[in-house]
Amino acid sequence: MRDVVSGWDVSGTEARPMAAPASARVHTFAVYSAFGLIAAVVFGTLSYHPF
Protein backbone atom coordinates (compact mmCIF):
# COMPACT_ATOMS: atom_id res chain seq x y z
CA MET A 1 0.00 0.00 0.00
CA ARG A 2 1.34 3.46 -0.88
CA ASP A 3 1.27 6.26 1.66
CA VAL A 4 -0.50 9.16 -0.03
CA VAL A 5 1.26 11.94 1.88
CA SER A 6 4.87 10.80 1.66
CA GLY A 7 4.65 8.66 -1.49
CA TRP A 8 6.38 5.68 0.15
CA ASP A 9 5.36 2.11 -0.57
CA VAL A 10 4.65 0.55 2.84
CA SER A 11 3.16 -2.80 1.77
CA GLY A 12 6.39 -4.82 1.90
CA THR A 13 9.02 -5.27 4.54
CA GLU A 14 11.07 -2.34 3.25
CA ALA A 15 9.92 1.17 2.41
CA ARG A 16 10.58 2.25 -1.16
CA PRO A 17 10.04 5.75 -2.58
CA MET A 18 7.57 6.17 -5.41
CA ALA A 19 9.10 5.89 -8.87
CA ALA A 20 10.41 9.19 -10.17
CA PRO A 21 8.87 8.90 -13.66
CA ALA A 22 5.39 8.38 -12.21
CA SER A 23 5.65 11.44 -9.98
CA ALA A 24 7.10 13.45 -12.86
CA ARG A 25 4.10 12.52 -15.01
CA VAL A 26 1.70 13.60 -12.28
CA HIS A 27 3.56 16.89 -11.86
CA THR A 28 3.57 17.54 -15.62
CA PHE A 29 -0.15 16.78 -15.83
CA ALA A 30 -0.86 19.18 -12.94
CA VAL A 31 1.17 22.00 -14.52
CA TYR A 32 -0.49 21.62 -17.93
CA SER A 33 -3.92 21.39 -16.30
CA ALA A 34 -3.29 24.63 -14.43
CA PHE A 35 -2.21 26.40 -17.63
CA GLY A 36 -5.25 25.03 -19.43
CA LEU A 37 -7.58 26.29 -16.73
CA ILE A 38 -5.98 29.75 -16.79
CA ALA A 39 -6.25 29.87 -20.60
CA ALA A 40 -9.91 28.82 -20.46
CA VAL A 41 -10.71 31.59 -17.98
CA VAL A 42 -8.80 34.23 -19.98
CA PHE A 43 -10.34 33.30 -23.33
CA GLY A 44 -13.75 32.91 -21.74
CA THR A 45 -13.66 36.41 -20.28
CA LEU A 46 -12.38 37.90 -23.56
CA SER A 47 -15.38 36.54 -25.45
CA TYR A 48 -17.93 37.73 -22.86
CA HIS A 49 -19.67 41.00 -23.83
CA PRO A 50 -21.97 42.27 -21.06
CA PHE A 51 -23.33 45.25 -23.04
Q: How would you write the pLDDT of the chain (51 residues) with one tens digit per residue?
A: 555 556 565 565 565 665 668 888 999 999 999 999 999 999 888 877 776
pLDDT of residue 33: 98
Q: What is the pTM of this model?
A: 0.51
CA–CA distance, 5 with 38 (Å, rounded to integer): 27
Cα dihedral: 7, 9, 11, 13 (round 10): -130
pLDDT of residue 40: 93
Q: What is the CA radius of gyration of the chain?
A: 19
pLDDT of residue 9: 59
pLDDT of residue 48: 73
